[in-house]
Structure 1
Amino acid sequence: MLADITSALGAIKTGSDIAREVASAHSLDEARQRTPELFGAMAEIQHRLAAMQLAYAALLEERDALMREVEEVRQARLERERYVLQALPQGGLVYRFKASRESGAVPHDLCVHCYEGGVKSILQPNGSHLVCPACKTKLRAKGPAAIASRRGGVCVWTL
């Protein structure tokens, strides 16, 4: 980008010098001789400015993409802060949702394997196990599935 600016300024200086020479020409023939040079310099200036505009537009797109990426990372970080790693009584780990009144979300557990891979997979009861529907990981739960209470279609295990 700096090279584009430098070359554009050089082309503007050249065009300005030629325009001064045309303006100070002593005869019409002398001015006519320098006119094509002036038009060439003006075309070069336009070319350089168009290149700078394209480079500027590319930088704006890159900035916008980076801003979107930063926002996605920020949102992912905020989402990750809503869960805490917790050990199950029978062994194994889950990411437990930190319930709060303002969230309105149903308490649930996430598969550690999927969570670390960036996938939010809610563990589901299956007999005396919790099963991840995504990676099929099985975790032994406390007692049979009957002790789980159902709320809003999501099984909440009492530990």
Structure 2
Amino acid sequence: MLADITAALGAIKTGSEIARDMAGALSPDETRAKAPELYGAMAEIQHRLAAMQLAYGALLEERDALAREVEEVRQARMERERYVLHQLPQGGLVYRFKTSRESGAVPHDLCVHCYEGGLKSILQPNGSHLVCPTCKSRLRSKGMAAVATRRGGVCVWTL
């Protein structure tokens, strides 16, 4: 980008020197002789400015993409802060949702393997185990997983 700016400034300087020479010409023939040079310098200036506009547009797109990426990372960090590593009574580890009254979310546990890989996979009870529907990991829960109770159409599992 700096090279484009330098080249554009050089073309502007050349064009202004040609225009100054034309203004100081003593005859119309001298002015007409310099006109093609001035048109060439103006075309070069336009070319350099167009190149700079394209580069500027690319920089704006890159900035916007980076801003979106930063926002996604911020959102992901906020989402990850909603969970805490928890050890089940049988020794297995899960990421447990930090319950709060204002969140309104149903308490649940996430698979550690999937969570560390950037996925949010809710463990499902299956007999005496919790099973990850994504990676099929099985964790032994205490005895048998309690039967689901229905609250507002949502299954709530207690361990």
CA contact (8 A) 1:150 1:156 kept: no
* Closer, same or farther: CA 82–91 of 1 in aligned 2, 3 Å: same
Equivalent-residue separation in structure 2 for 1:128 and 1:32 (angstroms) = 95
Kindly report the root-mean-square deviation, in angstroms, between the aligned alpha carbons of the 2 structures: 1.2
Q: How many corresponding residue pairs?
A: 158
Q: What letter matches 1:118 in structure 2?
A: G
1:84 and 2:84 matched: yes
Residue number in structure 1 paired with 2:157: 156
Alignment TM-score, normalising by the size of structure 1: 0.95
CA contact (8 A) 2:147 2:157 kept: no
Percent identical: 80
Equivalent-residue separation in structure 1 for 2:104 and 2:128 (angstroms) = 28
Gaps of 5+ in 1: none
Residue number in structure 2 paired with 1:129: 129
Describe the superposition over 1:52-104 as per-residue Cα deviations: whole angstroms up to 9, x where unpaired. 00000000000000000000000000000000000000111000000111100
Equivalent-residue separation in structure 1 for 2:18 and 2:158 (angstroms) = 83
CA contact (8 A) 1:125 1:155 kept: no
Secondary structure (helix, strand or coil) at the match of 1:54 reads helix
Secondary structure (helix, strand or coil) at the match of 2:146 reads helix
* Closer, same or farther: CA 113–107 of 1 in aligned 2, 3 Å: same
Aligned pairs for 1:95-110 (under 5 A) are 95-110=95-110
Residue number in structure 1 paired with 2:38: 38
Q: Which runs of 4+ in 1 moved over 4 A?
A: 147-152
Q: What letter matches 1:154 in structure 2?
A: C
Alignment TM-score, normalising by the size of structure 2: 0.95
1:48 and 2:43 matched: no
Pairwise CA distance, 1:155: 3.7
Pairwise CA distance, 1:150: 4.8
Equivalent-residue separation in structure 2 for 1:153 and 1:126 (angstroms) = 17
Equivalent-residue separation in structure 1 for 2:25 and 2:97 (angstroms) = 82
Residue number in structure 2 paired with 1:4: 4
